[in-house]
Amino acid sequence: MKRFLTVSLCLLALTLSSFAQTKKSPMKKAAGPAPDKAYLQKIWDGWTTLDPANVAQYYATGPHTYFDIAPLKYGSWDEYEKGVKGVLAGYKSAKFTVNDDAVVHPHGDLVWATATLKEEMTTKAGKVEMGNFRWTVIFENEDGKWVIVHEHVSAPLQ
């Protein structure tokens, strides 16, 4: 009888545990197609205006880390937007081209991409600066839209 009671309690516990619900992450709204090279170029076309407001739509708000050429790091889009305005204020024009080595890796609600970029920027003093940047970017599906939650832009040492 004691054995029957023990087995019955174990079966009851197993049955009840199967009904317990695990907390699931909230379902995300389906995003449009994953970013591709054309989408990456669209972001950099926005940067050619030298006005961060023209690319804000591509960046997530809140605490996210963005590494840029100067200064080293921003802790949110608000910091990034404010800080990069000062850097870009010294330029009168810019052109950025996503090179053919761009690779996009979709992974569920995240997409990460890498590319090199050709840059040509003209300072307000008229000096033309040309070179290449490295770009690593992570997008997340937020309410059906792909936004940047992490970015790393760097230039090779000359």
Task: Report the SS3 class of residue 116.
Answer: strand
What is the domain count for the chain?
Answer: 1
Q: Is residue 9 part of a domain?
A: no
Over residues 51-73, the mean pLDDT reads: 91
Contact between residue 40 and residue 146 where contact means Cβ atoms under 8 Å apart? no
CB atoms closer than 10 angstroms to residue 76? 16
Q: Is residue 23 part of a domain?
A: no
Contact between residue 148 and residue 155 where contact means Cβ atoms under 8 Å apart? no
Question: Which amino acid, one-letter code, is at 62?
Answer: G
Over residues 49-58, the mean pLDDT reads: 97
Over residues 81-102, the mean pLDDT reads: 95
pLDDT at 74: 93
Q: Is residue 4 part of a domain?
A: no
Contact between residue 138 and residue 112 where contact means Cβ atoms under 8 Å apart? yes
Contact between residue 101 and residue 93 where contact means Cβ atoms under 8 Å apart? no
Task: Report the SS3 class of residue 132.
Answer: strand
pLDDT at 24: 40
> Is the pLDDT at 10 greater than 80, yes or no?
no
Q: Is residue 11 part of a domain?
A: no
Q: Is residue 66 part of a domain?
A: yes
Q: Is residue 93 part of a domain?
A: yes
> Is the pLDDT at 72 greater than 50, yes or no?
yes
Q: Which of 63, 58, 61, 56 lies closest to 85 in space, CA to CA?
A: 56
Q: Is residue 26 part of a domain?
A: no
CATH of the domain at 150: 3.10.450.50
Q: Is residue 10 part of a domain?
A: no
Domain enclosing residue 84, as ranges: 31-154
pTM reported for the whole predicted model: 0.79
pLDDT at 23: 40
pLDDT tier for residue 18 given thresholds of 50, 70 and 90: very low
